[in-house]
Amino acid sequence: MSAARVRVLLQPGYVLHRRPYRDSSLLLELLSPQFGRVGLVARGARQAKSRLHGVLQPFRPLLLSWSGGGELATLGAAETDGPVPWLDGRALMGGLYLNELLVRLLHRFDPHPGLYAVYHATVQALGEPQAALEPILRRFEKQLLEEIGYGLVLAHDADHGRPIEAQRLYVYHLLHGPVPVQGGACEGEALILRGQSLLDLARGEFQDENSLREAKRLTRAALTEQLGGRPLVSRRLFNARHQVF
């Protein structure tokens, strides 16, 4: 979708990132289903008397109106659209990690309505009491890679198209897919995974800690490839204590 001058009314969206701009305004990165990632200026939003003050928070489902063109449009109005999940501790860290991935990997004005629905469901899941953080993150990472055109091959081997066998070991080549390990261990390969782990990630349901750990190795390697090797700020800040990303 082009960045031509537009006037948008009541578009669902989430704030992915915000930072101060000039004396009283905010620069926002939004995710919306119809317009994808959008950059907006929220003029005067940091003033206590502004109708936008306190509304433009991450993880809050919103209805937004804006106008303008180019890389930055101007926010006209925003209101809460539905229940606001409460994210704190590990869940909050997980949410910030998701937001950074989206800002880094999505192009401006490239709509992904399916990904928006996945993000909305993921944020709601993170807000549930006792949310199982790691499975939630692994499912989102897999779906994000699919949406941006770099989906993982998880159901069949890359050389012959044979169904993945749970008990076999596979070498996963990021630009190709999984290949069965032949004749024992395969030295020098970074990604040797059980077939069961590949099948579990494909379903988004994990039988044990081994599956979760191996799924994490795979999605992390695939995302690092797409990020060009540049580290994520959220991962660097939070991994030292929690080891979840």
CB atoms within 10 A of CB 196: 19
Cβ neighbours of residue 193 under 8 Å, at least 6 residues apart?
169, 170, 172, 178, 214, 217, 218
Judged against a pLDDT cut of 80, whether residue 231 lies above it is answered with yes
Token code pair at residue 192: 């040797």
**Is residue 244 predicted with pLDDT exceeding 80?**
no
Under the banding of pLDDT at 50, 70 and 90, the label for residue 236 is confident
* 152-177 tens-digit pLDDT: 999 999 999 999 999 999 999 999 99
User: 30 and 15 in contact (C-beta within 8 Å)?
Assistant: yes
Weakest mean pLDDT among 27-41, 159-173, 207-221, 230-244: 230-244
pLDDT of amino acid 230: 85
Is residue 240 over pLDDT 80?
A: no
Q: Would 6-80 and 86-245 be classified into the same CATH topology?
A: no
Residue 158 pLDDT? 94
pLDDT of residue 16: 97
pLDDT, tens digit (0-9, with 9 covering 90-100), for 17-76? 999 999 999 999 999 999 999 999 999 999 989 999 889 999 999 999 999 978 889 999
Q: Look up the CATH architecture of domain 86-245.
A: Up-down Bundle (1.20)
Looking at the domain covering 6-80, what would its CATH class be?
Answer: mainly beta
Q: Do 142 and 148 meet the contact criterion of CB atoms below 8 Å apart?
A: no
Beta-sheet pairing, 177-180 with 169-173: antiparallel
Please give the average per-residue pLDDT across 109-117, as a whole number.
Answer: 95
Which residues are CB-neighbours of 117 under 8 A, at least 6 positions away? 33
Question: What integer pLDDT is reported at residue 234 of this predicted model?
Answer: 84
With beta carbons less than 8 A apart as the criterion, state whether 123 and 85 touch: yes
CA distance 158 to 165: 13
Beta bridge partners of 40: 28, 73
| CA 179/CA 212 separation, integer angstroms | 20
Q: Where are the domains of the chain?
A: 6-80, 86-245
